[in-house]
A and B are shown apart, each in its own frame.
Chain A
Amino acid sequence: MWQKLTDSEVKERLAEMTLPFNRYGLDPYGVSREHLGFVFSLLAPLYRHYFRVQVHGIENIPAKGSGMVIGNHSGGIPVDASMVLASIFFEMNPPRLVHGMVEKFAQSWPVVSPMFFRMGQLPGLPQHAVRLLQDKRLLMVFPEGVRGIGKLYQQRYQTVRFGTGFMRIALQTGAPIIPFAFIGGEEAYPTLWHLKPLAKLLGAPYVPVPKHIVPVPLPIRCSIHYGEPMYFEGDGNEADDVIEDFVAQVRQRVDQLIEEGRVSRRERLRREQAGRVAE
């Protein structure tokens, strides 16, 4: 069924992907080629036409081997994660699958839980991160965690505290860190307040209510800015202050990329406005 719903470009790109699929099109983590095909076919129009994502620095993501893609959470719903996933699939040649570390609460939800597994988006556990990196896979981590998606519109583009677990795992596995900034998610889904009773009912940390009330992201142009890989020396058993210093360097780089991304967006908007006035 899924195959019929997969577009031809996605099929071609999936054929170039170097995942160890078995005869059923499944890899050892339960990632399904058919499900990838279906979901990337759904993401393609969102990525190209709805959010019109512009990607900078895709060459900074390693073509093979392990790597940790680390960035800011942007907006009340994970538009950022799905667009990063799409950018690495549609812009890299050959395409790669980036494994997200999903919040644990989502694993209890019917339909959502197996869909995440088939897409290679595993529960956010250190065991999964270590194993995937040792298997030379690419990992996507938002070190702000649920705190990041809980930010209100007035706190947009201000990163909150980064967890430190990702750094110990990067050191333990020798994986490079590729920092990125996601711009546009805060405007696509500007969170005004949280519906706490509904969140409690669903077992979710937040149910964000956007400015435009309807819980659907707006068609705002987004951009992703990947920075150069960062390498750190160590084995993951360093003292907390050493790790916190490394994490601060990553956060600082993400903040710089956010600033660069916002400046470049302002310039682009100015150019577009000037063009319209000239017309």
Chain B
Amino acid sequence: MRVLVTGIVGGLGQAVTEQLLLQGHQVMGIDRRGWPDAPDGVEVVEADIRKRPAEDVFRTFKPEGLIHLATVTHFSARPSERFRINLGGTRAIFDHCHKYKVKTAVFVGRHTVYGAAPDAPLYRTEQEPPLGAATFPELADLVAADLFAGAALWRWPKLNTSVLRIVYALGPSGRGTLGGYLAGQKVPTVAGFDPLFQFIHERDAAVAIRLALEKKLRGIYNVEGPPPVPLNQLCWGTNRQPIPIPQPLFRHVLGRFGFPKLPPGAIEHIKHPVVIDGQAFREATEFKYEYDEVAIMDGFRWVERK
């Protein structure tokens, strides 16, 4: 299958590319960043997904499948840029899919769209509303992009669209939202709270994305890996030091003293769990994770600390 991957240079993009090549697919990528040592046979066009060169890739490569990974978070982009890339970019990509008759599109979203709250249930299914923006305004663009991608199911019924809400991907690349939070030796936690964190090895996440494409999945699916572990355990397991900080002081220490810079809304996600149920995806694709929670944390132990 000819597969176009947007955001191919990211940690997950590279892992997806490896998986697609292993299965004999023809891969092309779009990214604002270059990939000098891209695998043989993979062409990467350095372009913004909202601009004409990106549309040219659809015109000339004629992809049969699309994997949309080109979304950004508060770790890497300013709010205005996030809205342009996450919403404007997703809209442009789905318009191109329709116009150039792409058969299958996979939107790779995040499980955090469900939001964290004291009264939120564990193991949320796809029927739960995505309330992420209620307590974490910086997620609003990603929630909107997730819902917009899901709307392609009725807007363009001939396009097999799947929206994957994947738990945090963690792996040796050290990239991703959770990778950014665990980047330093000291990890800030909210004193008196120890929520469950759910994560998946980035290679397993890449396999799940490939399966969604190959099975021509339609619909919204949660993708989970091994059972969740408490945040403190995650810190110790990845050879980090959890530093409990009283909540009133929390926002004042972020970005200082070696702690990562997080928006205030992220505090709820460090106090309360966001745990999803991936049963529907497992049944639809027969997906099984290969790396358990211990192997994932071990793999992250040696990632260089900032």
Q: Report the separation of the CA atoms of residues A200 and B155 in the bound assembly, to the nearest whole angstrom.
A: 49
Most chain A beta-carbon neighbours within 10 Å: one of B118, B124, B273: B118
Of B119, B228, B293, most A-chain CB atoms within 10 Å: B119
Cα distance, A117 to B271, chains bound together (Å): 12
In the complex, what residues of A have CB within 8 A of residue B293's CB?
A: 22, 24
Q: Give A contacts to B, CB under 8 Å.
A: 22-24, 26-30, 32, 104, 107-111, 113-114, 117-118, 122-123, 125, 127-128, 131
Q: Are B118 and A110 in contact (CB under 8 A)?
A: no
Q: Which residues of A contact B122 (CB under 8 A)?
A: 29-30, 122, 127-128, 131
Any chain A CB within 8 A of the CB of B294? yes
Which residues on the B side are within 8 Å of A26 (C-beta)?
Answer: 227, 229-230, 233
CB-defined interface of B93-133 with A at 8 Å, one 1/0 digit per residue?
A: 00000000000000000000000001101111000000000
Give Cα A109–Cα B118 distance, bound, in whole angstroms. Answer: 9
A23-B294, A114-B193, A128-B122 given. 13 additional CB < 8 A pairs? A24-B229, A26-B229, A30-B122, A104-B119, A107-B118, A109-B192, A110-B190, A111-B192, A113-B193, A118-B230, A122-B122, A123-B119, A131-B122
CA distance A127 to B123 in the complex (A): 9
Docked Cα-Cα span, A22 to B193, in Å, equals 21
| Cβ-defined contact, A125 with B227, below 8 A | no
- Assess whether A125 is in contact with B192, with CB atoms less than 8 Å apart: no
Q: Which residues of A contact B192 (CB under 8 A)?
A: 109-111, 113-114
Chain B residues with CB under 8 A of A104: 118-119
**CA–CA, A24 to B230, complex, Å?**
10
- Interface contact B196-A107, CB-CB below 8 Å: no
User: Whole-angstrom distance between the alpha carbons of A107 and B273 in the complex?
Assistant: 11
Q: How far is the CB of A204 from chain B (nearest CB, A)?
A: 13
**CB of B275, distance to nearest CB on chain A (Å):** 8
**184-219 of chain B: CB within 8 A of chain A:** 190-196
B119 and A107: CB pair below 8 A? yes
Within 8 A of A (CB), among B284-304: 293-294
Interface size class of chain B, counting residues whose CB lies under 8 Å from the partner chain: 20 to 34
Query: In this assembly, does B272 line the interface, its C-beta being within 8 Å of a C-beta of chain A?
Result: yes
Partner of A127, one of B121, B233, B273, B294: B121
Bound CA span A32–B228, Å: 12
Q: Inside 8 A of A29's CB, which chain B residues have their CB?
A: 122
Q: How far is the CA of A116 from the CA of B243 in the complex (A)?
A: 22
Quick check: B123 and A131 within 8 Å, CB to CB?
Answer: yes
**Would A125 and B233 be within 8 Å (CB), given that A23-B294, A110-B191 are in contact?**
no
User: Are B121 and A107 closer than 8 Å at their CB atoms?
Assistant: no
The contact sample of 9 A-B pairs, CB cut-off 8 A, is A26-B229, A28-B228, A113-B192, A114-B194, A118-B230, A123-B118, A123-B121, A127-B122, A131-B122
**B196, A117: Cβ atoms under 8 Å?**
yes
Please name all residues of chain A whose beta carbon is closer than 8 Å to the beta carbon of B193 when the two chains form the complex: 110, 113-114
Cβ-defined contact, A24 with B233, below 8 A: yes
Residues of A within 8 A of B121 (CB): 123, 125, 127-128
**Looking across the interface, which residue of chain B has its beta carbon closest to that of A23?**
B294
Closest residue of chain A to B118 (Cβ to Cβ) is A107
The interface residues of chain B lying within 8 Å CB-to-CB of A28 are 227-228
Shortest CB distance A172–B (Å):
15
CA distance A123 to B193 in the complex (A): 15
B272 pairs with A30, CB closer than 8 A: no
Closest to A108 in B: B118
The CA of A123 and the CA of B121, in the complex, are separated in Å by: 8
Question: In the assembled complex, which residues on chain B have CB atoms less than 8 Å from the CB atom of A123?
Answer: 118-119, 121
Which residue of the partner chain, among A30, A110, A125, contacts B119 with CB atoms under 8 Å? A125
Give Cα A108 to B117, complex, Å. 9
Q: Which residues of chain A are within 8 angstroms of B195 by Cβ–Cβ distance?
A: 114
Which B225-239 residues have a C-beta within 8 angstroms of A? 227-230, 233
Q: How far is the CB of A169 from chain B (nearest CB, A)?
A: 13
**Cross-chain contact B227 with A22 (CB below 8 angstroms):** yes
